[in-house]
Amino acid sequence: MDMITTVRNKKRISAWIAAIAGAVLLIVLMERLFDDRRYRLVSTVFAFLACVPFYVTYEKREGSIRRMVLIAVMTAIAVAGRLVFAALPAFKPLAAVAVLSAIYMGPEFGFLVGSLSAVVSNIFFGQGPWTPFQMMALGLIGLVAGLPAFRSLLRRRVPLAVYGVLAGISYSLIMDIWTVLSLAGGWRWDIYIAKLVTAVPYTATYAVSNVFFLELMLKPVGEKLNRIQTKHGIF
């Protein structure tokens, strides 16, 4: 990858992170602009729109067919894993698959696998206004794992386990934004903090499941993705 391409990739990723962060900020600030009913609707739309640029630009890249096939495969693995562990709601491999996809195939790849895993698996578990927030949360977990500063580090088991715990916490932080919106109809810091506290058992379970699936799949999935990336140059 030449220097110009590297710089362009960094600028593109930085712009997308800024766009998503801006969408989250707008979701919180728009409480003062809309009434309860419209606020929930508009915030959900903003969460979904924050994911759209990834789908549009990634589809237009060279070799997009191979990438899309592999994204579909990784998404199917994540969805199947969630179905297998359906009896344990907080114990699921969605984030782990997104993280491993990002480490070996790049941040955009990880974002797409994470966000698509959320929306596809919800076909079986129920779609709703919370789905875009799940898409954003899992997409961001994958995106960050694939950033150049973390990709090499996260191929080691201990840093990967730490990231799995942080991913579980981050997922709760994002999803409880929707929880507050659905309960209060607007932003309430007191309810948000209360929900974070009451969600500690769920968050802990999700963090443990992330570590479990990441450590379990690191070698077999990592080796396969690394072989594909080396052979076909998908990045």
Residues 99-158 have pLDDT tens digits of 999 999 888 889 889 988 988 888 888 877 778 788 889 988 999 999 888 988 999 999
pLDDT on residue 127 = 75
Quick one: what percent of the chain has pLDDT higher than 70?
A: 70
pTM of the model: 0.79
Q: Classify residue 51 by its DSSP letter.
A: T
Q: What residues does each domain of the chain span?
A: 3-232
Helix axes 107-125, 3-29, angle to 10 degrees: 40
**Mean pLDDT rounded to a whole number for the chain:** 79
State both tokens at 87: 């009896």
pLDDT in tens, 41-72: 555 555 555 556 555 555 555 556 777 888 88
Question: CB-based burial of residue 108 (10 Å sphere; 0-12 exposed, 13-18 middle, 19+ buried)?
Answer: buried
- Nearest Cα to Cα of residue 146 among 4, 17, 7: 17
Cα–Cα distances in angstroms (integers) from residue 105 to residues 97, 157, 186, in the given order: 12, 18, 38
Q: How far apart, in whole angstroms, are the C-alpha atoms of residue 20 and residue 132?
A: 12
pLDDT in tens, 180-234: 878 876 778 899 999 999 999 999 999 999 999 999 999 999 889 888 877 766 5
- Nearest Cα to Cα of residue 165 among 82, 99, 102, 118: 99
The second-level CATH assignment, the architecture, of 3-232 is Orthogonal Bundle (1.10)
pLDDT on residue 126 = 81
pLDDT band at 4 (very low <50, low <70, confident <90, very high): very low
Specify the higher pLDDT residue, 132 or 170: 170
Contacts of 232 (CB under 8 A, 6+ apart): 63, 66
pLDDT on residue 1 = 45
Specify the higher pLDDT residue, 199 or 30: 199
pLDDT on residue 151 = 87
pLDDT on residue 187 = 75
b/e map 50-59, b = 16+ CB within 10 Å: bbebbeeebe
pLDDT on residue 66 = 77
Contacts of 133 (CB under 8 A, 6+ apart): 44, 47, 174, 175, 177, 178
Alpha helices in 50-188 (DSSP H): 52-59, 64-84, 94-105, 107-125, 131-145, 148-151, 157-184
